[in-house]
Amino acid sequence: MLILISGCAPAPYVKPSVPAGMPGIYHRVERGETLWRISKIYNADIEEMSRINHIADNTKIEVGQQIFIPRAQRPQPAPVRYANDDFIWPVKGKVVTGFGQTSHNMINKGINIQPYGTLDIVAARKGRVVFYSDNFGVFGKTIIIEHADGLSTVYARNAQVFIKPGETVQKGACIAKAGSAGRDGSTYLHFEIRKGYTPVNPLHYLP
């Protein structure tokens, strides 16, 4: 289990803001479900779901919570599970800069994760390596892995890289080692999830 934000009690439940007349259903969150998995069950747009339900990240989802799924119909006879397609964290650690926040005068298009213990970086999902640069500007050693459904993941500011373009990597396979990347000498991974060429909030997809 990853601890992303320490201290503090859970944020109070905020009722979904459903536009007048919008069809859809409510889904009751079960143990182990993520926003990403729920969106796959109903073939729904995860960004629209997060906006309507005021979900900034998956740590806000609680068992028993009712989430509105726009334009969805109740699956029959039971929801399909997508555990094999779920994302995992590329490294165990703490999010030190969130999606859309400003870091070093730049808007962060992903999240920066400061590792706990091991510096091993793993593939967040099965896919094919489509890009590698040994020195991609401020991001240093950078990897991009493309997945089957138009999503891709970016892993930047690595100290070592163990894969090359064209390789297929399994979810959880070690692909790199995090290095000292911060201006203060701190170590962190810059991680992005993209839909096509558009960065999306990784915390909507990670468990």
Answer yes or no: do 182 and 102 share one domain. yes
Answer yes or no: do 63 and 162 share one domain. no
Average pLDDT over residues 29-39: 85
List the structure tokens of 49.
């779901």
Asked which of 43, 67, 84 is the last residue of a domain, the reply is: 84
Answer yes or no: do 150 and 195 share one domain. yes
Asked which of 84, 110, 126 is the last residue of a domain, the reply is: 84
Cα separation, 113 vs 188, whole angstroms: 5
Instruction: Report pLDDT digits (tens) over 109-132.
Output: 999 999 988 899 999 999 999 999
Q: What percent of the chain has pLDDT over 90?
A: 48
21's CB contacts (< 8 A; 6+ apart) are none
How much is the mean pLDDT over the chain? Answer: 85
Answer yes or no: do 45 and 142 share one domain. no
Question: Could you tell me how many residues make up the chain?
Answer: 207
Answer yes or no: do 129 and 53 share one domain. no
3-state secondary structure 38-76: HHHHHCCCHHHHHHHCCCCCHHHCCCCCEEEEECCCCCC
Answer yes or no: do 32 and 96 share one domain. no
pLDDT at residue 74, as a whole number: 76
pLDDT at residue 41, as a whole number: 83
Answer yes or no: do 97 and 79 share one domain. no
Instruction: Report pLDDT digits (tens) over 181-191.
Output: 556 667 899 99
Domains in the chain: how many in total? 2
**107 pLDDT above the threshold of 50:** yes
List the structure tokens of 192.
């992005």
- In a domain, residue 75? The reply is yes
- In a domain, residue 10? The reply is no
Answer yes or no: do 49 and 68 share one domain. yes
**38 pLDDT above the threshold of 60:** yes
Answer yes or no: do 119 and 176 share one domain. yes
pLDDT at residue 8, as a whole number: 43
Answer yes or no: do 152 and 105 share one domain. yes
Burial class (CB in 10 A: 0-12, 13-18, 19+), 34: buried
Average pLDDT over residues 24-30: 91
The model's pTM is 0.69
Asked which of 84, 111, 132 is the last residue of a domain, the reply is: 84
The parent domain of residue 28 ranges over 24-84
178's CB contacts (< 8 A; 6+ apart) are 91, 115, 119, 120, 121, 157, 158, 159, 187, 188, 189
